[in-house]
Structure formats: structure tokens, C-alpha cells
Structure 1
């Protein structure tokens, strides 16, 4: 089964490589990302899921450079407070655990392309993802971790309880909270926090970022796929 999955991913990468190159060329020339992706995807008759992958993976050069400058390594976050974009991080880790493809995007961040945010439900995989997240955070030597969840998600309260319990077991000092305006809170958390997210809008608005899913998959010896 794993071999079939690898073959499918390799086939997708091969199919998307040339369109990705064309989109990058247009972005370098100053065309907007939306129009560039639409034009190229229409030209190559790409399907919706293929367009979604390119939308997530391809980033304009200037934006990619700016985001890369904000990313801290695991060692660099030692002694700093971390604010975790809960659903963004956990859904990516779940994707890894369920053997869905994770992509190393042009800005250097690891992302999934399943698009399950609004339909997310807590499962045994979610619990395992929480354990992986907390285990990795416990190795960062950070004094405080705050996990923020979107309260508009139907099971956010239950998930908050699960994370609190695992933080205690992992000897992590901090808190878990829910918010009706989680994105706003993340973007305005202030310089005291390093934000753990791969959400481009949030990355662009804050000073320092840690790619937590990338750290988790590195521990597991898994690599994210690239479209060159």
C-alpha cells in the first residue's frame, strides 16, 4: 500500500512540476498569484485538487524570502514562549499519521492540502497528534506554551481538555484556550511569543515563527514532498 501511495505522489509531482515552474515565472514577473495560478492551471487542464496543491505550495519569491527570515529553528526557540495555532498544527500532524502527503512549500513551511478544517472531528488520530505535538514541544526547552483553538469548531472544548491533560503528562507549563477570533489573537499576540503555525496570513503578520509539524515529522524520520 505504501508503495502505491509513493507512486501516486511521484506521479502527481511529475505532472505538477512544469505548471509550478510556469507559475513561479509569472510571479517573478510581478503577476498576482491568483491570476497566475488560474491561467496556468486552465492551460494545463488541471483538476481542483491539483490546483489546490499548487495554491498551497507555490509562494511568490518576495513573500517566501520574508517568511523564511521569520522562521526559528528548534534550538532558537529555547527560553521563549510559544503560542500554538492549535488546529493548523494538529491537522498537519494528523495528515502525517494518516499517511497523507505533506508538502514543503516555497516559503520553507510544511503544509497539508486536505482542506478538512471546518469538517474536523476529534478521533484517536487527533489524540495521537496531540501526544506528538506535546512530546516535541517538551524537547524545545521553552518556559511556557499556550495553545489556541478556534471556538467555532464544534469539538474545540473537548479538544482543549485533551491537550491540557497531555501537557500535564509532558510536563509542559502553559494553558489551552478557545477563541472566537483565533486568527486575530494569533496575529496580535505580541513579540513575547513565537507563533507555531503554517498559516501564511498569520506568518506575514507576526515577527517569529516555528514550524512545529516540520519538527514532528523530522523526529519521525519522514520528509515532506517538494515540487521543483
Structure 2
């Protein structure tokens, strides 16, 4: 889907949301107007959050200094997927709840996506800068090559000053949200977590990559 169309749809959807219109009919209206596919709608839902949910998520988002000395549990595919999108130049968006999200998973499944060593290096680098007490990076067990990816992250961890581990789990959302601090932009994790850190946002800043904001006008 063209990014320009997605941004236009997001602007109109957000306008309906903040005028108090119900979520489901609003998505249906925008979907019909822009002839959106199911995948397009999935992408749109990652960008625009309904006001009550957006506020609830945003108040859990913490700055990196508050994570120092704490345990951080990382939603592996979620976080590394967005980092990979950043380094590949794929579009990433700042949602209205304050979290940076990519939309690649709307169009490609996890097993179709590659995670470069560079993405892992950037993840571990930002974690080292935060200086957490411990790090646990979790990957979805049912997804193919999760074991291989967790092994690569474990190897990377051994070359850092970080104390931590990487492994596969059947219920990643639940396990990540149990940590002192969760690192994920997945709404299922954010809802359960006490505090959440947006690692791709920090990496984007270090790479001087600005996420797209649907409330701004862009020339493409």
C-alpha cells in the first residue's frame, strides 16, 4: 500500500476517533472510502489507537533513565522487526500513543523477514547504554527459526557487559509483560505491563531517522 494513502486514511480515522465516533464503524467507513484490504487495515490499526487506549498506553511509556538498574524483558520479534525496518529504510510511524511502530508484519509474516546482525547489534547497544540489571529477550516458539535467532542474540549478549539471556517461549506477550519493564510496541504487551520502554524509538534517534507522523503533511 502507498504510504501517502495510509497516512491520509490514518488522519481521517484519527479525526473520527477524537470526535468520539465508535472504533469499529469508523474503521469500516475509512476502509470503504480508501478500498483498504485486510492487511491495510491491520497496518492502520498499528498506527492509530483510539483515544482512551492511547492515553492508557502513553502513561506506561518510560524514558531510558528510568530503566537503569531494572530488569528489561524484550519482545524479540516485535522490537527487532522495527529495528530491521529502520535500517532497511522501510516506513516507520509514530503512533498517537507515543510508540514507534513499523507495518512490515501487516504484509509479511515473521518467517519471511530476515533479522540482520546489525539489528541485533543496535538492540544490544541501546540496552548497554541503558545499563539494566538484567535483560531477557524472548521469541515466539511456534515461529520457525526462533531458536536460531535466540542463539544469535545469546551469542551477542556474551560479547557485552549485559547480564541476560535469550530464549523461545510459547506465550511471549505474557512473559514479556511480567518483567519490571517491558520492551514492546505490541498493545497486548502494553496492556499487561507495568512500565514499557520504546527501544526502536531510541535507536531511530541515534540513527537520525524520524518516524512518519500521520498528523503531518508530507510530499512524496
- Establish whether TM, by shorter chain, passes 0.5: yes
Aligned equivalents of 1:17, 1:217: Cα separation in 2: 20
Q: Could you list the runs of 4 or more consecutive aligned residues of structure 1 that deviate by over 6 angstroms after TM superposition?
A: none
Can you list the C-alpha shifts for 1:122-156, whole angstroms capped at 9, x where unaligned? Answer: x4x52211111001100002111011111111111
Can you list the C-alpha shifts for 1:10-67, whole angstroms capped at 9, x where unaligned? Answer: xx34x44553343223323444433311212212334566544422111111111111
Aligned equivalents of 1:95, 1:76: Cα separation in 2: 26
Task: Find the partner of 2:202 among 206, 212, 215.
Answer: 215
Task: Find the partner of 2:141 among 138, 151, 155.
Answer: 151
Asked if 1 retains the 8 angstrom alpha-carbon contact of 2:111 and 2:145, the reply is no
Where in structure 1 are there 5+ consecutive unaligned residues? 1-7
Counterpart residue number, 1:58: 48
Aligned equivalents of 1:146, 1:86: Cα separation in 2: 9
Task: Find the partner of 2:17 among 3, 27, 34.
Answer: 27
Counterpart residue number, 2:26: 36
RMSD, aligned α-carbons: 2.1
Cα 1:208–1:117 change in 2 (3 A) is farther
Cα 1:50–1:164 change in 2 (3 A) is same
TM-score where L is the length of structure 2: 0.88
Aligned equivalents of 1:16, 1:180: Cα separation in 2: 33
Single out whichever of 131-140 and 178-187 deviates more from structure 2: 178-187
Q: How many matched pairs?
A: 213
Where in structure 2 are there 5+ consecutive unaligned residues? 216-220
Counterpart residue number, 1:5: none
